[in-house]
Amino acid sequence: MFSALSWIGHWRRVRFAHILLYAAFLYLSTLATRNMSLFAVVATPIVIRNWNGVLDRFFHGRDAPAAMRMAAAATTAASMVLVAAMVWVNTSNNQLYARLHWPRTFGVGLSERFAADVVDELAELDGRFFNSPDLGGYLIWKLYPRKQVAVDGRWEVYGDIYPELNRAYLDPKVFARLVDEYDIVAVVLSTRTPIAKKMTRWIRKSSSWHLTRKTKNVLLFERIDRIDRSARDPV
């Protein structure tokens, strides 16, 4: 909202190149949360320029003295520093994540929400696996080039196949087509993300898949016609 208002106050001197950059990265930020930081990097200097133009017009019209202009600039800068400090403090003590309902904590290292417990089993699979998007990046890191993931968080790079991949989490018939086409023998799903939870609800009831491993953060299903009967004990 703050960045959008800056265009209104500075519309007479807007540069077309700035509009293109702003619009392009704004669109990318709507595709994935991780793209918001890219939008912030591009939009910040453009918004600063716009608001500088607004303030210049305001003070020029009032013939304000230099001291008043400096005070206004200092107040604006101090406000931005205060906002940044508040965000940093709330992030470092995990209050921001709690308010956003994000299953993560501040710090350095490997998050416990990743599929570390099933990496060895996925590496030994005789065939391909399907996975929830939030696990894709980690599994690429741990398993490539031995194994390839079905999808990761970069949904915009999957092109024409993305709509079908997205529907596969919700529709057993769409998923069955992917299983036949790519000979998928296992499914690894996060226990935390909404789209994985939706798939979990129906795949648990499927007669074609069996839950062979359950951890705090991950569920591993294997295709029944590809596992031994001795491995079908309830999990």
Which of 38, 43, 49 shows the shortest CA–CA distance to 14? Answer: 49
How far is C-alpha 72 from the geometric centre of its chain's CA atoms?
Answer: 37
The lowest-confidence range among 50-54, 79-83, 121-125, 219-223 is: 50-54
How far is C-alpha 78 from the geometric centre of its chain's CA atoms?
Answer: 31
The structure's pTM equals 0.65
Q: Which pLDDT tens digit goes with each residue over 216-235?
A: 889 999 999 877 544 545 55
Handedness of CA 31, 33, 39, 44 (dihedral sign): positive
Q: Which pLDDT tens digit goes with each residue over 86-95?
A: 877 887 887 8
What whole-number percentage of the chain has pLDDT above 70? 78
The lowest-confidence range among 38-42, 108-112, 177-181, 196-200 is: 108-112
Angle at CA 103, nearest 5°, toward 97 and 109? 90
pLDDT over 70 (residue 19): yes
